[in-house]
Structure 1
Amino acid sequence: MPSTIPTEGLKDPETAELFFKEDPEKLFTDLREVGHGSFGAVYSARDVRTNEVVAIKKLSYTGMQSTKKWQDIIKEVRFLQILKHPNIIEYKGCYLSEHTAWLVMEYCIRSVSDFLKVHKKPLQEMEIAAITHGALQGLAYLHSHAMIHRDIKAANILLTEQGQVKLADFGLASMASRASSFVGTPNWMAPEVILAKDEEQQYGTEVDIWSLGITCIELAEMKPPLQSNSSVSVFSRIIRSESPTLQSTEWSYHFRHFVDSCLQKIPQDRPTSQKLLKHMFVRRERPETVLIDLIQRTKVLSQEAHNGPAVESQEEEVIT
């Protein structure tokens, strides 16, 4: 085992079992950065054992708050290990090298926020419905197991080459159905998460429903509400202002009703993820190839504009 591994942190056998012992530098080649955020960088790579293309999220546990970083890595790995659902990114293992954890996951071609960047215009309603439907199925799975994602946004919803929707980035997720930590990305935060900062109130899975509603607006308007405001101003307005709504009246009644249902200020007034799966916005008939068609159009646009380089994931202020 390389000397760079935090041996003190691996004395606990249960913790040690979370990590593969092999050197990831020897197992994964052709690393190419495909996105980054406050946590670090994400790479595409090839597994030399299987020739499979995978995604690798590198998380450093050195520098300031190294103990907290290490604890966060352990928490995320424990979380990813128990998740098994078609609409949640598949976890393939974690390795340690040079004070960095390599979280290996299935490869997805882009985040939904990347699609917005390439197209430079809102997605079509059918596309938003298909993405929302997939995200909801992933959320329903989490919520049925008393888990909260706590950072739902377009940057954390990915698409595979086959057009399958995948929830990703569980670094802020909670394994308890009631939580009180002030975490998330400001513009997508539910009012009760913000109130938890000062009032130590608990909140539940309803916060993911609020964030999903904000994400729908993000996909329809290319940005979440209040994006130009400072974090302090955002928090104040989320708590004190009326709930945001879709600005354009051109969207269908079902879409507008879905968003309004998600963005109820009182958490108990929001439908559950299971109930929202029955909403006409996500149940309405649409072509099975709607997301594959979106992917193909995006590839053409990307090649025309950039000659094919990766689009960096949107980086926002994330509160941990």
Structure 2
Amino acid sequence: MSYSGKQSNEKWQDIIKEVRFLQKLRHPNTIQYRGCYLREHTAWLVMEYCLGSASDLLEVHKKPLQEVEIAAVTHGALQGLAYLHSHNMIHRDVKAGNILLSEPGLVKLGDFGSASIMAPANSFVGTPYWMAPEVILAMDEGQYDGKVDVWSLGITCIELAERKPPLFNMNAMSALYHIAQNESPALQSGHWSEYFRNFVDSCLQKIPQDRPTSEVLLKHRFVLRERPPTVIMDLIQRTKDAVRELDNLQYRKMKKILFQEAPNGPGAEAPEEEELTPCSQEAEPYTHRAGTLTSLESSHSVPSMSISASSQSSSVNSLADASDNEEE
């Protein structure tokens, strides 16, 4: 995170705020902070290593998760949220891209750049398609609490079940208007279980007072239903296999292109296809992919961007001049 240029002091204060927040976290379902290093007006936050996000799973497999997998991911995220809310904290940017998976198969909440140390809060913060109605209306109608994370989790469930959150075909500003003014979204397909549909409907109660807390939702049948203990580990392994296949395919395509552009031309004899030895795969899987080691993220993934007219998956750090009282 850079803190140079215009508003450098404000950027620096935001970094300090996030570091202080991260230092407070002590829970298996929240990502662990390791340290912060400053170099050339850039702050580097060192965090616990995770393989990838739930969003990466969707990107790699190009299809929704199975219901048992959604339940396992949701259960882990809920435990992290219940911990935050019990300490009067609000995440404010819950979405598949911020739900991470670790090597041992733990589900962890990540990216606390939008988090609030104290509840209630009133800042316009988050990612548009996942925002709760009361966050959008906060500047006009007052404050909100940890139940905004419950709404975002409900939207995330739809995202995992349908690959995109509701209203994703709209631009961000139109989506914000629809969230605030229209009825709550729901799962579109009828093949999901009644437990899952009820869980999503409970999370997406328009009136915050009617919406259950994260602690109450931990007792919901959807997340407590019996499932194999290896659900997350099996999902991780299947995703690793898919990434390996994608990368090998990309390697073969690139090799073919380079050969066709070689001086000898397409008439030259193609060299035999090289294969990675099992030993090298086990020792350092995916090292031929820049910047990734044993990662779930596909090389076809699109990185997140700041909010703009052309970006629909962006985070809104703050569109209001006023900020939370607790953040001053």
TM-score (norm 2): 0.78
Partner of 1:230: 171
Q: Could you tell me which residue of structure 2 aligns to residue 70 of structure 1?
A: 12
Residue of structure 1 equivalent to 2:130: 188
Alignment correspondent of 1:302:
243
Q: Residues 149-298 of structure 1: matches in 2 within 5 Å? A: 149-197=91-139, 199=140, 201-298=142-239
Say which is worse superposed, 301-310 or 225-234, in terms of deviation.
301-310
Structure 1: runs of 5 or more not aligned: 1-58
Is 1:112 matched up with 2:35? no
In 2, distance between residues paired with 1:223 and 1:67?
36
Report the secondary structure of 2:31's partner residue: coil
Aligned match for 1:91, one of 33, 39, 45: 33
- Percent of matched pairs sharing the same residue: 67
Give, as a single letter, the amino acid of the residue that structure 1 aligns with 2:74: T
Residue in 2 that maps onto 1:148: 90
- Judging changes above 3 Å, is the alpha-carbon distance between structure 1 residues 291 and 285 closer, same or farther for their aligned structure 2 residues? same
> For structure 2, which runs of at least 5 residues remain unmatched after alignment?
249-285, 305-312, 318-328
Query: Following TM superposition, by how much is the alpha carbon of 1:239 offset from its aligned partner in structure 2, in angstroms?
Result: 1.2
- Indicate conservation of the 8 Å contact 1:111/1:313, yes or no: no
**What is the deviation of 1:313?**
6.3
Post-superposition offset of 1:102: 1.1
| Rounded Cα–Cα distance in structure 2 between residues aligned with 1:139 and 1:313 | 27
Distance 1:290 1:270 in 2: 28
Deviation at 1:306, TM superposition (A): 2.0
Which residue pairs with 1:30 in the alignment?
none
Please give the alpha-carbon distance, in whole angstroms, between the structure 1 residues aligned to 2:216 and 2:23: 27
Distance 1:63 1:259 in 2: 43
**Could you say which structure has the higher strand fraction?**
1
Match of residue 29 from structure 1: none
Within 5 Å, which residues of 2 pair with 1:23-42? none
Q: Deviations over 1:253-294 (max 9, x none)?
A: 000000000000000111110100000000000001001000
Partner AA of 2:176 in structure 1:
F
Aligned to 1:317: 314
- Cα separation, 1, equivalents of 2:129 and 2:155: 8
More displaced stretch, 308-317 vs 209-218: 308-317
Letter in 2 for 1:236: Y
Shift of 1:65: 2.5
TM-score (norm 1): 0.80
Cα distance in 1, alignment partners of residues 48 and 243 from structure 2: 22
**Is the contact made by 1:180 and 1:200 (CA closer than 8 Å) also made in structure 2?**
no
